Structure 1
Amino acid sequence: MSDYYEVLGVSRQASAQEIKKAYHKKARQLHPDVAGPGHEEEFKAVTAAYDVLSDAEKRRMYDLGGEDAVRGNGYAGGFGGDFTDLGGIFNAFFGSGAASRGPASRSRRGQDSIVALEVELADVAFGATKTVTVDTYVTCTTCQGTCCAPGTSPVTCSECNGQGSVQHMQRSFLGNVVTSSPCRACQGFGTVIASPCPDCAGEGRQHVRADVEVNVPAGVSTGTRIRMSGRGAAGPAGGPSGDLYVEIHELADEALTREGDDLYTELRVPMTAAALGASFPLTTLDGERTVSVKAGSQGGDEVVLSGLGVGRLRRPGRGDLHVQIVVETPTRLDDRQTALLQELAALRGEDGFAPAREESLLGRLREKSRSKRR
């Protein structure tokens, strides 16, 4: 007498879901089309166990009195009934079974492509139209994607009669089992290219190098990818084209530094101009502009020119241009200049400092030696 729980490999407390899962696993392993001949009795036992344990009332009776209690109530376990609906059983275990899905299509979508594009700062500030060169596929101009030589067309496969698949019948203890597989003669397409196109070798597309215009919007930055729908490689046999992705690489600018939508630069001014105030021309992306330096400006002060930065991506307006003031102190003065600065220092009460003097290397070494002896 069999223990149905042991046959399915589950505990007596197993849930209905666990019993179902165990049954399908065992049935797949023992099905004649998978395990081959010699496992028929095991397969029957697994099915009989599931037939009882999957039914709540049958399972209750089995738990009370075992296999005899189930049989005594008129329950016939196993596959003692009708086996004519073998296709339904096969489909439950293995999917579509012998059902034919029809011929496959030669036409497929083309691959997506990606290409890098280097752009200048001005391009990302205002937007630009650029050209990239890509290696790609286009629909064959000779056959227009039919894959056939001009004047010819695909021929219906004689092996599968255009079905794309062939059926095989196998005998098992359950009866005749019909399975389906792709036709080897036509690779499942249902047709054969008897006369392939000489220019594309029957693929329906050709490899080319082409120039593509790209609209670069303002505000993009390194790493931004621009998607161009349908501009990728054409698919085989006239299939739709994939997409082209253009990845932006922004080149560094010599004078301007970008941070988001804002730009930064330096303006070097003489010490006297910083003290007295002055106006200076500054080259920007928008041409020459005038920067006014206020009297008494210090090094590090900033002048902001609104709206002269980078255009905002998918938003109106532009960032700002930040101009940092760098005050240049004169390094070489003639006697006259020195006298004038000394006079200015005296007038401002700034002449009480000891003048700096340039020490020789030998003098610095002597001073260092004295410090160590102390």
Structure 2
Amino acid sequence: MADQDGIRADWVNKDFYAELGVKKDATADEIKKAYRKLARANHPDSNPDDTAKHEKFKRVAEAYDVVGDSEKRKKYDEVRDLYAGGGFPRAGSTTGGRGYNFEDLFGNAGGAGGSAGGGFGDMFGDLFGGGFGGRRTTSRPRPTKGADVESSATIGFTESLEGVTISLRLTSDAACPDCNGTGGKPGTKPRVCPECEGAGYVVQSVGGGFSMNETCPRCGGRQLIYDEPCPTCHGTGRGTSARTISARIPAGVKDGQRIRLKGKGAAGEHGGPNGDLYVTVRVTPHRVFGRKDDNLTIDVPVAFDELALGAEVKIPTLTGAPVTLRIPAGTPNGRTFRVRGKGARRSDGTVGDLLATVEVQVPAHLDDAARQAVEAYRDATAHKPLRSNLFEQAEV
């Protein structure tokens, strides 16, 4: 374990292979089997009153966390080999004949310039998450993708067919502007989190002889804590960001469609990419035209005589000149005519059709001449009742 200064030199003296009861050249499968067997036998859930087994379980979990990971195991073996070849000197001292200082070997100092990377210092820091000689180093936080952001926009009917660029006002989660996401009061210094000892995570038992790493509840994975929290974000390190962006809504978008704008979401952390923006589009209905898939629709009011005798009727299109609809004599009410190439634009550049449905309009009032004409028509067709077979068919 680490002391209050973050030193983990005692780990070097622990034989994790012996703790697991395997040889140093054991395979990964052998190490895993040994760990599971020991963890199951010593698990606190199965031995609630046996403190000795509780401690054994912790030591087994600690050993497996290192030698059960190929990268950590490699670095651990290198450190152990170095130790076996002469041992580690005490902090701030030299060893007879070797002439090297403990901090030169494991610290971050390197020459007169004071900065050096690589070597066993980096190796040991990567392995145990800490430094030596009273100086603690923490691994650099991993790049994190920014959060995805949800928004909505309302556009016109014609804009949905042709595409449009709109401005969106977005509010999203972001680093606190006062503490820059650290969670500490500006001007104060952090210290290594004592809960996770700077690892950013803690090991939790999940039952069945298994354990897992969870984000440290005290530092939130940041590895460092501040004794005085930021008064703006109350130590969370998070705030809100308001910004206005331009978003291109593609041609042919449908009402209720959810489109993704890559990289337009919240900013990433520690060099991570931005999140995405998801926009739910609402399309304002048109007073004349409707939409069915990639086709436009229109209801065309017609008179009875136009369907009975045939007619040529001009109808509007959404963006172009009117077209003439030729209605054959005897056309039934509700028939739909297709006008090619006057619909919505598809993603491949082609255009759908305009579907025109004829609907007979019955006048609410008739003048004398019109009434006489209708009555004459009714007398002329009285011998051909429309409902002659209705009751016969209803009885079948």
TM tier, smaller: 0.5 to 0.7
Q: Quote the Cα distance in structure 2 between the aligned partners of 1:147 and 1:29.
A: 39
2:41 to 17, 21, 30: 30
- Are 1:100 and 2:128 an aligned pair? yes
What SS does the aligned partner of 1:123 have?
helix
TM-score under structure 1 normalisation? 0.54
Kindly indicate whether the alpha-carbon contact (under 8 Å) linking 1:157 and 1:185 is maintained by their aligned counterparts in 2: no
Unaligned runs of 5+ in 1: 1-18, 44-85, 167-179, 357-374
- Are 1:301 and 2:331 an aligned pair? no
2:313 to 279, 288, 295: 279
Q: Quote the Cα distance in structure 1 between the aligned partners of 2:355 and 2:145.
A: 49
Alignment partner, residue 119 of structure 1: 155
- Relative distance call for 1:272 and 1:204 in structure 2 (3 A) is same
- CA offset digits 1:159-191 (Å, max 9, x no partner): 79x96489xxxxxxxxxxxxx999999776555
Q: Quote the Cα distance in structure 1 between the aligned partners of 2:60 and 2:32.
A: 21
Partner AA of 2:356 in structure 1: V
- Are 1:351 and 2:380 an aligned pair? yes
**Corresponding residue pairs, total:** 275
- Relative distance call for 1:209 and 1:111 in structure 2 (3 A) is same
Give how far 1:158 is off: 9.9
Larger Rg: 1
- Are 1:90 and 2:123 an aligned pair? no
Q: Quote the Cα distance in structure 2 between the aligned partners of 1:233 and 1:20.
A: 42
Partner AA of 2:63 in structure 1: F
Partner AA of 2:146 in structure 1: G
Partner AA of 2:148 in structure 1: D
2:357 to 324, 328, 332: 324
Kindly indicate whether the alpha-carbon contact (under 8 Å) linking 2:300 and 2:315 is maintained by their aligned counterparts in 1: no
Alignment partner, residue 274 of structure 2: 241
Give how far 1:258 is off: 1.9
Partner AA of 1:324 in structure 2: T
- Relative distance call for 1:262 and 1:352 in structure 2 (3 A) is closer
Kindly indicate whether the alpha-carbon contact (under 8 Å) linking 1:118 and 1:251 is maintained by their aligned counterparts in 2: yes
Superposed counterparts of 1:139-218, under 5 Å: 157=192, 164=199, 189=222, 191=224, 206-218=239-251
Alignment partner, residue 261 of structure 1: 294
- Relative distance call for 1:272 and 1:89 in structure 2 (3 A) is closer
1:135 to 141, 162, 171: 171
Q: Quote the Cα distance in structure 1 between the aligned partners of 2:162 and 2:198.
A: 57
What SS does the aligned partner of 1:232 have?
coil
Give how far 1:124 is off: 2.2
2:370 to 330, 337, 340: 337
- Relative distance call for 1:286 and 1:187 in structure 2 (3 A) is closer
- Relative distance call for 1:305 and 1:185 in structure 2 (3 A) is closer
Alignment partner, residue 116 of structure 2: none
Query: Percentage identity across aligned positions?
Result: 24
Q: Quote the Cα distance in structure 1 between the aligned partners of 2:51 and 2:218.
A: 30
Q: Quote the Cα distance in structure 2 between the aligned partners of 1:109 and 1:22.
A: 36
Unaligned runs of 5+ in 2: 1-29, 77-126, 131-137, 202-212, 386-396
Q: Quote the Cα distance in structure 1 between the aligned partners of 2:143 and 2:188.
A: 15
- Relative distance call for 1:32 and 1:304 in structure 2 (3 A) is closer
Give how far 1:26 is off: 3.8
Give how far 1:316 is off: 1.4
TM-score under structure 2 normalisation? 0.51
Q: Quote the Cα distance in structure 2 between the aligned partners of 1:264 and 1:226.
A: 24
